[in-house]
Amino acid sequence: MFKNIINERLYLNPIGYLGLLDYLIFNTKLLLFFITTIILILVYFIFGRYVKLIRNYLPIIFHKLLLWTLSIKVEIEGRIEIAKNCDLFVSNHISYLDIPILGSNFPLRFVAKSEVASWGFWGFLAKLGRTIFIKRNKNDTINQRQQDFVLKTTNKLFIHVLNNKIC
């Protein structure tokens, strides 16, 4: 019995403390998120190839929608007008929320390791968000140097740094 008490205290489940109204609100937001995501994907496939504005700003709408679903409010400190003129953003990789938080403010292209492309639904969303996939082994660096035109033609680029490596 003592062992069960210790295990319950070690794992604090935030959902376990929600009331019925909180469950209804979250489930409603989640349903709206999935419906809107499907609509955004369809709009992207129909118009995204032809209209650059849609291709650039649909990921921002998706990230804002995701943050709304998770009830995350983003507060920006500092001078945002300086960041609007930047083309390269580099950040430490703190959590999985880095991408939606930063992607909800600017039309960014993220740089990710090539394995992300094969992560099922997340890889699909990364491809829709125009993520640039980088292979990190030495044999592929020559081929990737020939593709550096992608980096030169992009508007804004975001690089996560994790353990002194580019993710």
CA atoms within 13 A on the CB side of 143: 8
CA distances (Å), origin 92, targets 89, 97, 98, 103, 147:
10, 12, 9, 15, 25
Mean pLDDT over 126-140 rounds to 78
Q: Indicate if the pLDDT at residue 140 is higher than 70.
A: no
Asked if 156 and 87 count as a contact pair (C-beta separation under 8 A), the reply is yes
Asked if 48 and 55 count as a contact pair (C-beta separation under 8 A), the reply is yes
Predicted local confidence at residue 161, as pLDDT: 59
Question: pLDDT, tens digit, for every residue of 44-84?
Answer: 999 988 888 888 888 899 999 999 998 899 888 877 777 77
Instruction: Give the residues across from 160 on adjacent strands.
Output: 91
Reduced to 3 states (helix: H, G, I; strand: E, B; else coil), residue 166 is strand
Burial 38-72 (b: 16+ CB within 10 A, else e): eebbeebeeebeeeeebbbebbbebbebbbebeee
CA distances (Å), origin 59, targets 26, 124, 161:
22, 13, 21
Question: pLDDT, tens digit, for every residue of 23-40?
Answer: 889 889 999 999 999 999
Reduced to 3 states (helix: H, G, I; strand: E, B; else coil), residue 58 is helix
Where do the structural domains in the chain lie, given as residue ranges? Answer: 2-73+83-166
Question: pLDDT, tens digit, for every residue of 83-96?
Answer: 777 777 777 777 77
Q: Which of 68, 73, 155, 52 is nearest to 106 (CA)?
A: 155
Report the length, in residues, of the chain. Answer: 167
